[in-house]
Amino acid sequence: MGADTAATQLAALTADRVDHRFKGLPPEADGLTVGELAAQRRNLFTDGFTTPVLALSAERLQHNLALMETYATRHGLAFAPHGKTSMAPQLFWQQIEHGAWGITLAVPHQVRVARRFGIDRIFLANELVDHAALRWIAAELARDEDFRFICYVDSVRGVELMDAALAGTTRPVDVVVELAAGEGARTGVRTEAECAAVADAVAATTTLRLAGVAGYEGEVPQADPERVHAWLRRLTALAADFDKAGRFAGLEEIVVSAGGSAWFDAVADVFAEIPALSRPVLKLLRSGAYVSHDDGHYRKLTPFTRIPEEGALHPAFRLWAQVVSRPSADQAFANAGKRDAAYDLDLPEAQVVRRDGVEHPADGVEVTGLSDQHAWLRTSPGAELRVGDWIGMGLSHPCTSFDKWELIPVVEQDGTVVDYVRTFF
Amino acid sequence: MGADTAATQLAALTADRVDHRFKGLPPEADGLTVGELAAQRRNLFTDGFTTPVLALSAERLQHNLALMETYATRHGLAFAPHGKTSMAPQLFWQQIEHGAWGITLAVPHQVRVARRFGIDRIFLANELVDHAALRWIAAELARDEDFRFICYVDSVRGVELMDAALAGTTRPVDVVVELAAGEGARTGVRTEAECAAVADAVAATTTLRLAGVAGYEGEVPQADPERVHAWLRRLTALAADFDKAGRFAGLEEIVVSAGGSAWFDAVADVFAEIPALSRPVLKLLRSGAYVSHDDGHYRKLTPFTRIPEEGALHPAFRLWAQVVSRPSADQAFANAGKRDAAYDLDLPEAQVVRRDGVEHPADGVEVTGLSDQHAWLRTSPGAELRVGDWIGMGLSHPCTSFDKWELIPVVEQDGTVVDYVRTFF
């Protein structure tokens, strides 16, 4: 039933009207459907779009989707890309069409969005003890036998709260014990002995079923290849120990999951070493940032710098803003700020300047700060920048770029806008 | 016509359906209208809301609205609160009902939202040289004779770009020359001589009309009361000089505008000194953060610390998250992160812990970081915090709190949710 729901709901996005909710779009397009606007194949630079406007490269998006499909397939990994990155059901479905097993999410609201758009397999990479959210998950499981849902547990108390909230449900909720990435790391059980205690608590319920183990190597303290590999081996050893102890006896498959966007090469390495267990193993990779990649944090962190022979992700976002003020020889201001650009890990990177249809590199132009609605630009002597110019900026951190835009133009290399991606944050 | 448009569009918000777009709301409320849900007067803590959820205090909101109305009236200031803070048309109209002259905004998209909701007087506290946006503004001015629109100019080139975009329009666009707050400050003309050159450029057009002067004292370098007063006196002197030069001869009133949320006491002081000019003066204050106030940056900066006899703003936001993990004696994790809380100026402040209907102070609990979807909490020995507890947090920076929530419950002291505020970012 997921595909039918998806078709209906994705069609509703296409039939939705362009209006005041969506920034950057041409004001005179108000009242057109999103589909009608896309069919006009407008040019981002000449057909009435207003600044600031975020553009998602059509070609780079497709490249990234295909590259991670190839990567997961080559390494025998199932793939549940983290949907929190984009919160865009259209992209969730493109990821699934590119071979993804399902979608990873972080909080129940995100699960609601995915369910609305017919996503059948959801991995919630987080603890879940919210009573109302658990009641809703239970109702979804009861309503739809195709719905597969897995979430973390990392404490006996958490198990007890889940069990209480789920009392009387018909299908048990699948859980994986989360192994913490180390002392002082984020969520997750800190020792194997505690993992066993949590698994025992799960086994004592009828509302939960232990489906495997998981964790997030991105939080390994002072992460380096050696430490990350070592932690991943702890995780796979935990799976093997649990299996030996008969904890997975009733399952069709054992879930072993890890993998953000910085160490999926290590995940591939170590998951390849998993010995034969009593049941088939679903080796679930969860990287999410790849879909747009970036021009900052993930450009530095991506594993493809260590494995160039396997390809390279391409940064797919460019934020266009307009220079509105040039008050001195060394300062300029553009009309995009914290409302428009990611700013949590790095500032935007000035890349190109566009004037009268001609682009030149933004040499000598640097973003030095963001106000709520302004970018502060420092310019070197000789930098070519005038009031009215459009400035194209690269961003750092896909998650905090997507979350500032509700409808994002998908733009081909020549500026033609071929689609619009809707987000739900 | 503004009030009719407003009534229709605000009613449409009430008639809108609760669904996957809005986080924090009860999942089983899906399909109710927002108005029906409000009429149920649910309790935030016991009636199915899911975490994280941002609550706006009904009483504190009303207190803040009334206090700034009193303040502006007492000091003879017209008030155009900055709407970028909330981007909530319901709040815009509450501000207008509390005596506001109009609404200040920062970018054309925000003007579109305000116009959609029938706001007739808009002060755009920014330069505007976007061709498509200017064409739309011109069309709005032509369509609606009640629409009053004012924006900044700070360069001759900016004036030329506006003039070119507005060619053939029927009503000139009102502009104010922005005086920069100093060398190295944000936008605005740096010297009085350049201000005159920009005003000359305006006068040479038929598409623009010089309506006054404005600026933003919040960007005065190394701001202190003396420097801020000095800059404000430069601004009012500029108005007087322009007036003496006959630049305002055709106006009904002269606009002089300043005033963010940190120095409106200084604005009141200096604007009270404005001598009689050739026309009445519209002394326009633009503070926006007061509407929710905060528990961080603006708590420290608010002028009411210098003028306690005039009252005090009350922080109106509390972000509720749930403790999902307690992996060690000194760590805990709640399910709210960068997607939910402001993090650009300060981290959230842990204030109260709620368990089984009882609240206690969050003694010994400190927010030490935010991931995309998690709050990192450090706990002192003896801190009372368990998995499942709700933790109530104060936030710093209203602008980056509102912008993470599309539908915000308005909650009375006892937890009753009496309304929902919609935002458009």
pLDDT digits (tens, 9 = 90+) for B356-393: 999 999 999 999 999 999 999 999 998 999 999 999 99
Please, is B127 exposed, middle or buried when counting C-beta atoms within 10 Å of its C-beta (0-12, 13-18, 19+)? buried
Q: Which residue of B has its CA nearest to A425?
A: B21
Q: Six-digit token pair at B123?
A: 């002060």
Q: Where are the beta strands (DSSP E) in B217-312?
A: 254-258, 281-285
CA distances to A18, B34, B90, B354 from B44, rounded to whole Å, are 33, 15, 21, 12
d(CA A419, CA B115): 27
| Residues of chain A falling short of pLDDT 70 | 1
Average pLDDT over chain B, rounded to an integer: 97
Q: A297 contacts in B (CB within 8 Å)?
A: none
Provide the greatest CA pair distance for chain B: 72
User: Alpha helices, DSSP H only, in B125-250?
Assistant: 131-143, 156-165, 192-203, 225-244
Indicate the burial class of B167 (C-beta count within 10 angstroms; 0-12, 13-18, 19 or more): exposed
* Confidence at residue A1, expressed as pLDDT on a 0 to 100 scale: 54
ipTM: 0.97
Do A388 and B129 lie within an 8 Å CB cutoff? yes
Give the tens place of pLDDT for each residue, B306-336.
Answer: 999 999 999 999 999 999 999 999 999 999 9
Residues sharing a CB contact under 8 Å with residue A327, sequence separation 6 or more, in sequence order = A333, B154, B155, B180, B187, B188, B189, B190
SS3 for B173?
strand
Tally DSSP H helices, then E strands, for chain B: 12, 18
Contact B342, B299 (CB under 8 A): no
Binary contact (A126, B404; C-beta < 8 A): no
- Contacts for B153 with CB less than 8 Å, ≥ 6 apart: B127, B159, B162, B175, B176, B177, B178, B198, B201, B202, B208
User: How high is the pLDDT of residue B3?
Assistant: 84
Distances in Å between the alpha carbon of B152 and those of A304, B10, B91, B245, B336? 47, 29, 24, 20, 38
Q: Do B236 and B264 touch, CB atoms closer than 8 A?
A: no
- Which pLDDT score is estimated for B77? 98
CB atoms within 10 A of CB A23: 24
Pairwise CB contact (< 8 Å): B133 & A50: yes
- For residue A390, what is the nearest residue in chain B, using CA coordinates? B130
Give residue B2's pLDDT.
Answer: 83
Contact present, A298 and A261 (Cβ < 8 Å): yes
Query: In which band, very low, low, confident or very high, does the pLDDT at B1 lie, cut at 50, 70 and 90?
Result: low
Element (H, E) at A390: strand A390-394
Instruction: Indicate yes or no: CB of A327 within 8 angstroms of CB of B189.
Output: yes
Q: What is the mean pLDDT of the segment spanning B101-127?
A: 98
Residue in B5, B127, B162, B403 to test binding to A, most A beta-carbons within 10 Å: B127
Q: Nearest C-alpha of chain A: how many angstroms from B114?
A: 9
Selected for mutation to probe chain B from A21, A149, A333, A372 (highest B CB count within 10 Å) is: A372
Q: Which chain A residues are within 8 Å of B326, Cβ to Cβ?
A: 155, 157
Residue B334: alpha-carbon gap to chain centroid: 28
Q: Exposed, middle or buried by CB within 10 Å (0-12, 13-18, 19+), for A269?
A: middle
* Nearest CA among B316, B352, B354 for reference residue B56: B316
Residues composing chain A? 425
**Joined tokens for residue B317:** 């936001």
- Are A404 and B425 an interchain contact pair (Cβ–Cβ within 8 Å)? yes
Q: Do A324 and B19 count as a contact with CB atoms less than 8 A apart?
A: no
Q: Give CA–CA dist B111/B137, Å, rounded.
A: 9
Q: Residue A11's CB: how many other CB atoms inside 10 A?
A: 11
Q: How distant is the Cα of B308 from the closest Cα of chain A, in angstroms?
A: 28
* Tokens (6 digits) for B337: 């992160």
Neighbours of A143 (CB within 10 A): 10
Domains of chain A: 3-57+314-422 (2.40.37.20), 75-289 (3.20.20.10)
Task: Report the alpha-carbon distance of residue A303 to residue B287 in Å, rounded.
Answer: 47
The answer to whether the Cβ–Cβ distance between B338 and A154 falls below 8 Å is: no
pLDDT of residue A3: 85
Amino acid identity, position B341: A
Contacts of A406 in chain B (CB under 8 A): 425
| DSSP string across B144-157 | -TT-EEEEEE--HH
Residue A290: half-sphere exposure toward Cβ, Cα within 13 Å: 33
Name the residue in chain A with its Cα closest to that of B183.
A328
B308 CB contacts (<8 Å, ≥6 apart)?
Answer: none
Of A103, A85, A89, A95, the closest CA to residue A401 belongs to A85
> How are strands ordered across the β-sheet holding A121-127?
A78-79, A281-285, A254-258, A208-214, A173-178, A148-153, A121-127, A103-105
Q: Which of B187, B287, B338, B343 would you mutate first to test chain A, the one with the most A CBs within 10 A?
A: B187
How many A/B residue pairs have CB atoms within 8 Å? 207
What is the model's pLDDT at position A74? 98
pLDDT at B117 over 90: yes
Report pLDDT for A16: 98
Are A132 and B184 in contact (CB < 8 Å)?
A: no
Q: Which of B162, B233, B163, B159 is nearest to B196 (CA)?
A: B159
For position B308, what pLDDT does the model report? 97
